């Protein structure tokens, strides 16, 4: 009888929900202007959904700050009637930050993020409370598999 494998995944990022009624690319433009970033489009998050028997796609944008050693990512939570994280169906975008956060002030960050044109609401999310948090890792697993080919 075969043994099962257990893969322990460590979620080493902070996450916020953003509500906005504008398109993702316009939100990125306004975030770039407000926060002096350079968010750029990266590979979509995509996965097969047995419910719709098709692949779901969610746009993603990323900025890597090499000076301060952190990476931020903006991901669509809703696209064409599909939701990436079903528990957060009222959230339009997911904002992830990973990397160095020793000098990171959450209050100042949320205020700066909230000032960007088009942002209606910014709310912190506890990653471990999400049942479907693994949907955020699908692209990263796909990217590591492509590198092996």
At residue 75, the pLDDT reads 94
DSSP states of 74-140 as a string?
Answer: EEESEETTEESSGGGTT-SEEEEEEE--TT--HHHHHHHHHHSTTEEEEEEE-GGG-TTGGGGTHHH
Overall number of domains in the chain: 1
HSE-CB at 36 with a 13 A cutoff on CA atoms is: 2
Q: Does residue 7 lie within any of the structural domains?
A: no
Which residues form the domain of 27? 13-140
Rounded CA-CA distance 55/75 in Å is 16
Q: Does residue 5 lie within any of the structural domains?
A: no
Rounded CA-CA distance 91/111 in Å is 18
Looking at residues 1-21, what average pLDDT do you find?
70
107 or 89: which leads in pLDDT: 89
Q: What percent of the chain has pLDDT over 70?
A: 80
Q: Does residue 145 lie within any of the structural domains?
A: no
Q: Is 147 helix (H, G, I), strand (E, B) or coil?
A: helix
Is pLDDT of 15 > 60? yes
Q: Does residue 59 lie within any of the structural domains?
A: yes
The pair of three-digit structure tokens given for residue 40, joined into one six-digit string: 């750029």
CATH code (residue 131): 3.30.310
Q: Which tens digits make up the pLDDT trace of 25-74? A: 999 999 999 989 999 999 988 877 777 778 888 999 999 988 878 888 99
Q: Does residue 2 lie within any of the structural domains?
A: no
- Predicted confidence band of residue 136 (pLDDT cuts 50, 70, 90): confident
Is pLDDT of 141 > 50? no
């Amino acid at each position: 009888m075969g043994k099962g494998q257990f893969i322990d995944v460590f979620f080493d990022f902070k996450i916020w929900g953003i509500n906005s009624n504008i398109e993702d690319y316009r939100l990125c433009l306004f975030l770039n202007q407000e926060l002096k970033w350079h968010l750029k489009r990266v590979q979509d998050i995509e996965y097969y959904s047995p419910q719709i028997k098709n692949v779901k796609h969610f746009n993603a944008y990323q900025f890597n700050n090499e000076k301060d050693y952190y990476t931020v990512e903006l991901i669509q939570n809703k696209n064409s009637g599909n939701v990436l994280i079903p528990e957060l169906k009222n959230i339009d975008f997911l904002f992830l930050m990973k990397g160095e956060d020793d000098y990171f002030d959450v209050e100042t960050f949320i205020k700066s993020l909230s000032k960007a044109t088009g942002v209606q609401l910014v709310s912190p999310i506890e990653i471990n409370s999400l049942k479907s948090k693994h949907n955020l890792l699908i692209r990263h697993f796909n990217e590591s598999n492509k590198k092996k080919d």
